[in-house]
Amino acid sequence: MEWSGTWSLLRSVVCVAGLLAAGCGPVRVAGPAVSQEAVAALRELLGAGVEPAAETAVVASSGSGWASLKGRFVFGGDPTQPAALIVDKDTAVCSKDGMKLYDQSLRIDASTKGLADVVVFVRKASRVKDPVPAEQLVFDQKNCEFLSPVFVARVGQPVDVRNSDPIGHNTNISGTSFNQLIPSGGGAVYTPDRETGMPVSVTCNIHPWMKAYAVFRKDGYVAVSSADGSFQLEDLPAGEPIEFQVWHARSTGPNGGLGLDQPSLKWTSKGRFVITLEQDEVKDLGTLEVPASALGI
């Protein structure tokens, strides 16, 4: 039965039923009365879940293909030396041979002014090219500090939380159920089961100066700037608007959002901007200067 004919028949059935239900007395209807065939057709149509029109279907993505985004963050002021941390426990290991530990929340390359550990991620992706990797990532701690100041993993990807020190550490990932004692030379596997809206802190309850940040995302579209400030996100959905979030541990913006003066990108004070990439495009944002005031300096 053609859809147009079926739809007309349905409308007739509904109209007749509505008039009778309204209690307006006998109703004269031109043509034959509603037949059992029509009732059967109605039941079959509703049971099949047929949509009345194709244009009502929800389109998850308007684009196609993939693209890349890259750039480089540089510090706008004069690079300063990181502050030394107060180490007052297990000094035989944590301060062995006069070793000093420094604050890792602000790492600026002295020669290039590159700003490390700036996080750039997609707030919501309509498409994802690659599945969740099965191999484990390693998040290690040595010399009484976390070796990755900012650590990234995908939701569902196992993380081997290691301890390469000769003493025990407690690793506490904020906002998750993972808060475990990791013995010397040992490890524990944690598999993130949900996203972090923003990076969350990772601390050691035994050694309070130890601190890092973790980012867990479902789609994997997250990058952390390297020592020279550069970052790159690959295999992004092309042909549709993508909203990016930018974060830094020392940012004075809301929840660590890094707001920059970038009018062409309509960069907000919350550290967000929107770009539509063309298929196979490698979009270069160039040098993005981060003023000292944006980092509370």
d(CA 141, CA 165): 7
Burial letters 214-249, b for 16+ CB under 10 A, else e: bbbbebbbbbbbbeebbbebebbbbbbebebbbbbb
- Counting residues of the chain whose pLDDT is more than 90, the rounded percentage is 76
Higher pLDDT, 103 or 61: 103
pLDDT at 20: 34
pLDDT at 179: 97
Q: What is the DSSP string of 176-233?
A: SS-EEEE-TT-EEEE---S--SS-EEEE-SSSTT-EEEEEEESS--EEE--TTSEEEE
d(CA 77, CA 113): 8
For helices 36-48 and 3-21, the axis angle rounded to 10 degrees is 110
Q: Which two tokens stand for residue 116?
A: 């490390």
pLDDT at 180: 96
**Domain range summary for the chain, segments of one domain joined by +:** 3-56, 66-295
**119 φ, ψ to 5°?**
-100, 130
Q: How confident is the model over 230-258, as a mean pLDDT?
A: 98
Q: Which two tokens stand for residue 239?
A: 């042909």
Higher pLDDT, 63 or 114: 114
Helix (H, G, I), strand (E, B) or coil at 45: helix
pLDDT at 223: 98
Please enumerate in sequence order all residues whose Cβ is within 8 A of that of 193, keeping only pairs 6 or more positions apart, or say none: 155, 156
d(CA 90, CA 119): 32
Q: CA 39, 45, 50 angle in degrees (round to 5)?
A: 160
Residue 24 has pLDDT above 60, yes or no: no
- Please determine, looking at this structure, whether the domain spanning 66-295 carries the CATH number 2.60.40.420: yes
Residue 165 has pLDDT above 50, yes or no: yes
Structure confidence at residue 45 as a pLDDT band (50, 70, 90)? very low
Please enumerate in sequence order all residues whose Cβ is within 8 A of that of 37, keeping only pairs 6 or more positions apart, or say none: none
d(CA 143, CA 39): 78
60 in Cβ contact with 237 (< 8 Å):
no
Q: How confident is the model over 89-107, as a mean pLDDT?
A: 94
Burial class (CB in 10 A: 0-12, 13-18, 19+), 114: buried
d(CA 97, CA 29): 101
d(CA 242, CA 102): 37
236 in Cβ contact with 179 (< 8 Å):
no
pLDDT at 64: 87
d(CA 24, CA 256): 66
**256 φ, ψ to 5°?**
85, 5
Higher pLDDT, 151 or 27: 151
User: pLDDT of 66-92, one tens digit each?
Assistant: 999 999 999 999 988 899 999 999 999
Which stretch of 44-58, 112-126, 163-177 has the lowest confidence by average pLDDT? 44-58
Structure confidence at residue 61 as a pLDDT band (50, 70, 90)? low
